[in-house]
């Protein structure tokens, strides 16, 4: 016998209340609590959900040495970028959430992977019809014909199809369109998302099937639905980029099975997403003449060195208060660097507008790009171009000192591989590279750099 019950959920953090109240005690947001109808008997069990009565088996404690890991080998997704971001492939029984703005390419990415995989995949779409998915699939080159397309939104029906088809990997597009019979409220509500995710987690863990979920994000960049969705899944991936640019960046925000500092870069083409194996090539604009105001920085994202181009424009302020703007770089850090240049190197930038841009639409928090930022600003301010084959990898301190950075040798090797002639690094970096073609310019103060560049 089931009894209808209503519960109040905070739409922001997912906290549950018995009564309505104006402010959520848990996340302190106002007016976020809404009533949702839930049915008393929440099965939360995918087997009960699909067949009705089978009792779930109880787990027993085991020693680490007794736990069988032979099945834990990862599934290779046949996509080097995704594999790297996941930490080496999909872990059996894991739940991966892929978030991103509408139209960024989430469905394209996962459909493309299912079309390439040698495993049997079930692609469940609650957003598009089978015909629409076929139209999309026809644009993407496919290697295999192992992908089954299901258009369904009810979890009980999805599990029935899963039992029938026994797929190796399940993809859900998207979690916000699913609904479970055990909850009355509409699809996309907090309690539905929570219930459907719980059912999927149980299914994934019991059958060791990896499940990939697509999640919508709200205007302020969070994954729509309760924050607990992110706590429940094993891995949260974010697909980002400017819709007007062709490049897309995949990064892990949370990863129980790998590092969160890896990046995957894709290019959106007419025929789907192309993996960008050598990102430095796309991030540096290829130009013939040398222009003032650009400098190349060597940064490291995860384990991979990347060369990025920094552009600065310094001009006399038209209005009283000079403007400072930074795209892809922390504005506070830009202000700090300008203060250091003013105080320690004697450049009068206080009355100048300063605009800074990292090309390619990416944003970087690696402090090792500081020196390139300094070089770009000074180059624009003095209107003297920096030679195209110079690059920089050092942090700038408040005293105007050039500080060492991590993985300096890796950065130098990447710069050498890409044909740079000179790299500026801190004098305090210990470098024991032998036989390098690239000239390693050791600097200790901003003055050293200024003297070398502008003599």
> At its nearest, how many Å lie between ligand TYD and the CB of residue 140?
6
Contact of residue 52 among Mg ion, ligand TYD, none (CB under 5-8 Å per partner type) = none
The residues, ordered by sequence, that sit 6+ positions from 297 with a Cβ below 8 Å of its Cβ are: 307, 308, 309, 310, 364, 368, 369, 371, 372, 373, 391, 392, 393
Beta strands in 376-449 (DSSP E): 390-393, 395-396, 402-403, 422-426, 439-443
# residues near ligand TYD by CB under 6 A: 15
Beta strands in 95-210 (DSSP E): 95-100, 121-125, 147-151, 169-173
Beta strands in 141-262 (DSSP E): 147-151, 169-173, 211-216, 235-240, 247-255
φ, ψ for residue 33, nearest 5 deg: -90, 125
> At its nearest, how many Å lie between ligand TYD and the CB of residue 227?
21
- Closer CB to ligand TYD, residue 92 or residue 105? 105
Cβ(127)–Cβ(291) under 8 Å? no
- Does 105 bind ligand TYD (CB under 6 A)? Our answer is yes
Contact of residue 104 among ligand TYD, Mg ion, none (CB under 5-8 Å per partner type) = ligand TYD
DSSP H/E element including 380 = helix 370-382
The rounded distance, in Å, linking the Cα atoms of 206 and 200 is 10
- Fill in the per-residue mask, 188 to 207: x = in contact with ligand TYD (CB under 6 A), - = not in contact: --------------------
Contact of residue 108 among ligand TYD, Mg ion, none (CB under 5-8 Å per partner type) = ligand TYD
The window from 97-105, 291-299, 307-315, 441-449 that contacts ligand TYD (CB under 6 A) reads 97-105
> At its nearest, how many Å lie between Mg ion and the CB of residue 173?
6
Is the alpha carbon torsion for 328, 331, 333, 338 positive or negative? positive
> At its nearest, how many Å lie between ligand TYD and the CB of residue 386?
35
φ, ψ for residue 370, nearest 5 deg: -50, -45
DSSP H/E element including 266 = strand 263-269
- Closer CB to ligand TYD, residue 52 or residue 270? 270
Contact of residue 274 among Mg ion, ligand TYD, none (CB under 5-8 Å per partner type) = none
The rounded distance, in Å, linking the Cα atoms of 440 and 114 is 46
Cβ(250)–Cβ(268) under 8 Å? no
- Closer CB to ligand TYD, residue 164 or residue 220? 220
- Does 108 bind ligand TYD (CB under 6 A)? Our answer is yes
Question: 3-state class of 124 per DSSP?
Answer: strand
> At its nearest, how many Å lie between ligand TYD and the CB of residue 254?
19
- Does 107 bind ligand TYD (CB under 6 A)? Our answer is yes
DSSP secondary structure letter of residue 351: T
Task: From 42, 45, 43, select the one nearest 204 (Cα to Cα).
Answer: 45
The footprint of ligand TYD on residues 241-300 (CB under 6 A) is 268, 270-272
The window from 102-110, 184-192, 316-324, 445-453 that contacts ligand TYD (CB under 6 A) reads 102-110
- Closer CB to ligand TYD, residue 108 or residue 311? 108
- Does 139 bind ligand TYD (CB under 6 A)? Our answer is yes
> At its nearest, how many Å lie between ligand TYD and the CB of residue 239?
7
> At its nearest, how many Å lie between ligand TYD and the CB of residue 106?
3
Contact of residue 407 among Mg ion, ligand TYD, none (CB under 5-8 Å per partner type) = none
The residues, ordered by sequence, that sit 6+ positions from 358 with a Cβ below 8 Å of its Cβ are: 308, 309, 310, 311, 327, 328, 329, 364, 369
The window from 15-23, 136-144, 300-308, 439-447 that contacts ligand TYD (CB under 6 A) reads 136-144
Residue of 47, 84, 106, 403 interacting with ligand TYD (CB under 6 A): 106
> At its nearest, how many Å lie between ligand TYD and the CB of residue 173?
7
- Does 102 bind ligand TYD (CB under 6 A)? Our answer is yes
Q: Binding residues for Mg ion, per CB under 5 A?
A: 107
Distances (CA, A) of 220 to 101, 111, 176, 401: 10, 26, 17, 38
> At its nearest, how many Å lie between ligand TYD and the CB of residue 126?
12
The rounded distance, in Å, linking the Cα atoms of 299 and 314 is 23
Contact of residue 93 among Mg ion, ligand TYD, none (CB under 5-8 Å per partner type) = none
The rounded distance, in Å, linking the Cα atoms of 105 and 231 is 24
Question: Which residues here bind ligand TYD, judged by CB under 6 A?
Answer: 100, 102-108, 136, 139-140, 268, 270-272
């Amino acid at each position: 016998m089931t009894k209808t019950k209503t519960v109040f959920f905070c739409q922001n953090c997912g906290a549950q209340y018995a009564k309505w109240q104006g402010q959520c005690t848990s996340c302190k947001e106002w007016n976020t609590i809404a009533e949702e109808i839930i049915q008393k008997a929440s099965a939360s069990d995918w087997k009960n959900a699909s067949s009705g009565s089978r009792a779930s088996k109880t787990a027993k404690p085991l020693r680490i040495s007794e736990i069988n890991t032979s099945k834990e080998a990862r599934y290779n997704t046949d996509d080097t970028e995704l594999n790297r971001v996941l930490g080496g492939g999909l872990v059996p029984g894991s739940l991966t959430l892929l978030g991103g703005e509408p139209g960024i390419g989430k469905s394209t990415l996962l459909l493309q992977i299912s079309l390439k995989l040698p495993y049997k995949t079930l692609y469940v779409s609650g957003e598009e019809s089978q015909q629409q998915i076929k139209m999309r699939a026809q644009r993407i080159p496919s290697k295999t014909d192992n992908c089954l397309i299901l258009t369904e939104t009810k979890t009980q029906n999805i599990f029935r199809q899963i039992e029938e088809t026994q797929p190796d990997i399940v993809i859900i597009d998207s979690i916000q369109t699913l609904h479970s019979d055990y909850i009355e409220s509409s699809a996309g509500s907090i309690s539905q998302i929570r219930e459907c995710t719980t059912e999927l987690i149980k299914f994934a863990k019991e059958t060791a099937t990896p499940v990939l979920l697509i999640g919508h994000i709200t205007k302020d960049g969070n994954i729509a639905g309760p924050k607990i969705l992110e706590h429940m899944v094993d891995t949260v991936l974010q697909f980002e980029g400017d819709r007007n640019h062709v490049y897309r960046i995949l990064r892990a925000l949370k990863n129980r099975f790998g590092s969160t500092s890896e990046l995957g870069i894709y290019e959106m083409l007419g025929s789907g997403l192309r993996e960008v194996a050598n990102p430095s090539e796309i991030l540096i604009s290829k130009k013939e003449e040398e222009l003032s105001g650009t400098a190349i920085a060597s940064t490291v994202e995860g384990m991979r060195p990347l060369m990025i181009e920094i552009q600065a424009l310094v001009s006399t302020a038209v209005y009283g208060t000079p403007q400072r703007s930074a795209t892809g770089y922390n504005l506070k850090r830009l202000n700090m660097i300008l203060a250091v240049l003013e105080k320690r190197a004697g450049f009068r930038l206080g009355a100048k507008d300063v605009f800074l841009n990292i090309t390619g639409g990416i944003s970087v928090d690696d402090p090792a790009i500081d020196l390139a930022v300094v070089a770009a600003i000074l180059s624009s301010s003095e209107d003297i171009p920096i030679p195209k084959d110079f690059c920089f990898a050092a942090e700038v301190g408040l005293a105007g000192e050039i500080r060492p950075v991590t993985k300096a040798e890796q950065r130098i090797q990447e710069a050498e591989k890409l044909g740079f002639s000179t790299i500026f690094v801190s004098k305090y970096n210990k470098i024991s590279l032998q036989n390098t073609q690239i000239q390693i310019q050791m600097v200790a103060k901003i003055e050293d750099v200024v003297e070398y560049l502008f003599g």
